[in-house]
Each structure stands twice: as C-alpha cells, then as structure tokens.
Amino acid sequence: MSANKKTQQLARQLFKLSLVDGHISAERVTGVLGYVEKIKPAHPLAVLKIYQRLVATELAKSQAIVEHAGAVSDSLLQTIAASMTKKYGRAIAASTRANPKLLAGLRVRVGDDVYESSISAQLSTLAATAAN
Amino acid sequence: MLTSLFLATVEAHGAVAGASEPGPLESIQHTLDSLGFEWHYIVFQGISFLILFGVLYKFFIKPTIAAMEERQQKVESGLKYAADMKAQLASSQQETATLIKNAQLEANKIIEESRKTAKDFADKIQKESSERANDQFAKAQQAIELEHKKMLADARSEIARLVVTTAERVLAKKLTEADRASYNETAAKELSAV
C-alpha cells in the first residue's frame, strides 16, 4: 500500500470518528485534532488537509447557501431550509449570500447540488436555445 | 594483181597455142620462164616466209591474240560482273523496297499504337481531371455550406448574446426591489416544490 493511500485511509478513519449520528461533532473534531497532534502520524499535513476537505464537504451537505438578488425574508429562508431538510432527510441550515448577477431570483447550493430559479438563468437558457 | 597477171599469162598462152600448139604444162613452163620464175627461189621465199611468219606469230601475233583474248575475257568478266552487279542491285533495290515497305508498315503500326495510347492516356487524364474537379467542387460546396451554417450559428449566437446582455442591462436598471422580492418569493416556492 502506498503512502498516499495510507494517508487517505487514516484521514477517512479520523473523519468517521468525527461523526455523531451522521453529523459533524465539534467535540469529536477537537478530539481528533488533539489525537493527531499527540501521535504525529506519517505525513501529518497531508492527513489534516484530506480530513479538512472531508469535514468541509460534510458540513456543506448540511448547509444550504442561498444566493439572491434583492431582499430575502427570514420566512423565505426558513421555507427553503425546511424544503431541503425534507428533500435530503437531514437537518440543513440556510445561509444567504448576495449575488446581483442573478438580477432577480435565487440560487441554492447544497453540497455539490445547485438549484436555481433566476432571471439570469432564464436568460442564459434563452441564449443557449437561440444559439442552437 | 596476181590474178590479172595470171590472166595475161593465159591470154599469151592462148596466142602462142594458136601459133604452134604445144602441151599445157609446157606452155605454163614457158610462160613462167618468160616471167622470170625460178622454183628454188620460190621455195626459199616460202621457207623465209614461214620463218618470218613463225617469228611474227611467236613474238607478235600470239601475244597479241593472248592479249586480245585476255582483254576479251576481262571484258566478258566485266560484263558478267556488271550483270551480276545489276542483278545484285536489282535484288538490293527489291530488298530495300521490301525493307522500306516493312519499315513503313511497322512505323504506321507504331504510330497507330502511339496515337491510340496517347488518346487513351488523354482520355484517362481528362477523366481523372474531371473526377478531381467534381470532387473538389463537391468539397468546396460542402465547405461553403458548413461555413454558411457556422456563420449563421455564430450570428445567431452573437445576436442571442447581445439580446441577453441588453435584457440584463435593461432589467438591472428597470427592476425595483419590490419586483425582485416578488420574484424571489416565486423562486422560493418553485425551488421548494423541486
């Protein structure tokens, strides 16, 4: 087994140790970091980078980033969060990010999935259809 | 001259015979005597003549005859040679004529074959050129058609881009906050329904 593969395997084991009921636990993450600091495995920097990527991906799965142009009310965010929670079967919190390029409408990112209903997207679709 | 002398002798004898009538031999003897003939002179002259004749024959006549015969042979040989040469010339001319005729036939055949080959080659080249030209024409038509389609697609794409850009600018200016909020609510409902 190569060193790279061993590093990835160790990072995945550490990531699994960080989960409680399928969710990232801050206490577990702290414990994992202490463990790594204490035992100092081979290639610790590479292990921590992979571990960070896995944790960030997992956190992104439980977070819906709502890009918007124009005002978005809290009730609207609640509605979107509830809808995504229901869709993915896990608790998903919504956070906002202004994006004037959308002109009007919303773009929701959950992990690698993107949902969009905006004037910018409709215009892009229109341009693509007209070009073909 | 001898004949006239003999006749004169005979006439003289006739005249004498008419006078005393002696025998014929006697009258001839008498005549010859009257003319001064002596038999031993005649014999000596005959022998001299024969010796002279033999000498002349040996040293002049025989070589002359031999030279004449030799010349005659040379002439005959020359004539024969000329005849042979004439025959050979005729044969050579005939052979030459035959060769020329054969060569002409061969040349005509080669020329005919060359013409045929040249015609075939020209036909082949023309056919290939025609096919190549048709091929190039078809390719050029395809290229023009593709270029035309590409130009239309580019134009359509550019027009669409311009329309979208213009629409974005217009909407960015014209949309109010209320419009955006209303659109956001509609979008939220749409996304919740997904």
Distance from CA of B174 to the nearest CA of A (A): 10
Confidence at residue A40, expressed as pLDDT on a 0 to 100 scale: 85
In the predicted structure, residue A49 carries a pLDDT above the cut 60: yes
In the predicted structure, residue B1 carries a pLDDT above the cut 50: no
B1-5, B27-31, B64-68: which is most confident = B64-68
Task: Please tell me which of the candidates B167, B175, B188 has its beta carbon nearest to residue A79.
Answer: B188
Is the interface score ipTM higher than 0.95? no
Chain B residues whose C-beta sits inside 8 Å of any chain A C-beta: 153, 156-157, 159-161, 163-164, 167-168, 171-172, 175, 177, 179-181, 183-192, 194
Q: What is d(CA A80, CA A86) in angstroms, rounded to the nearest whole number? A: 10
Chain A positions in Cβ-Cβ contact with residue B192 (cut-off 8 Å): 79-80, 82-83
Most A-contacting residue of B154, B170, B184 (CB-CB within 10 A), to test interface: B184
pLDDT in tens, B43-62: 999 999 999 999 999 999 99
Comparing A26-40, B3-17, B142-156, which segment has the lowest mean pLDDT? B3-17
β-strands A113-118, A105-110 pairing: antiparallel
Confidence at residue B2, expressed as pLDDT on a 0 to 100 scale: 44
CB contact under 8 A, A76 and B185: yes
B104's tokens:
């002409």
In the predicted structure, residue A45 carries a pLDDT above the cut 70: yes
CA distances from residue A5 to A9, A12, A58, B81 in whole angstroms, order as listed: 6, 11, 21, 119
In the predicted structure, residue A106 carries a pLDDT above the cut 80: yes
Tokens 């060769």 -> residue: B99
Above pLDDT 70, what percent of chain B?
A: 89
Return the percent helix, strand and coil in chain A, to nearest 5.
60, 20, 20
The closest of A5, A22, A104, A126 to B179, measured between CA atoms, is A104
β-bridge mates for residue A65, sequence order:
A95, A109
Confidence at residue B145, expressed as pLDDT on a 0 to 100 scale: 95
Confidence at residue A92, expressed as pLDDT on a 0 to 100 scale: 87
Confidence at residue A4, expressed as pLDDT on a 0 to 100 scale: 83
Work out the number of other CB atoms within 10 angstroms of the CB of residue A10: 19
Confidence at residue B8, expressed as pLDDT on a 0 to 100 scale: 55
Tokens 């399928």 -> residue: A22
Distance from CA of B138 to the nearest CA of A (A): 26
Most B-contacting residue of A103, A120, A122 (CB-CB within 10 A), to test interface: A103
In the predicted structure, residue B158 carries a pLDDT above the cut 50: yes
Distance from CA of A4 to the nearest CA of B (A): 40
Q: At how many degrees (to 10) do helices B2-19 and B24-35 cross?
A: 120
Average pLDDT over residues A28-49: 90
- If one compares A17 and B20, the residue with the highest pLDDT of the two is A17
Average pLDDT over residues B151-156: 88
> Band of the pLDDT at B39, cuts 50, 70, 90?
confident
Distance from CA of B139 to the nearest CA of A (A): 25
Confidence at residue B12, expressed as pLDDT on a 0 to 100 scale: 52
Confidence at residue B64, expressed as pLDDT on a 0 to 100 scale: 92
pLDDT in tens, B104-143: 999 999 999 999 999 999 999 999 999 999 999 999 999 9
In the predicted structure, residue B20 carries a pLDDT above the cut 60: no
CA atoms within 13 A on the CB side of B136: 6
pLDDT in tens, A111-120: 889 999 999 9
Work out the number of other CB atoms within 10 angstroms of the CB of residue B28: 13
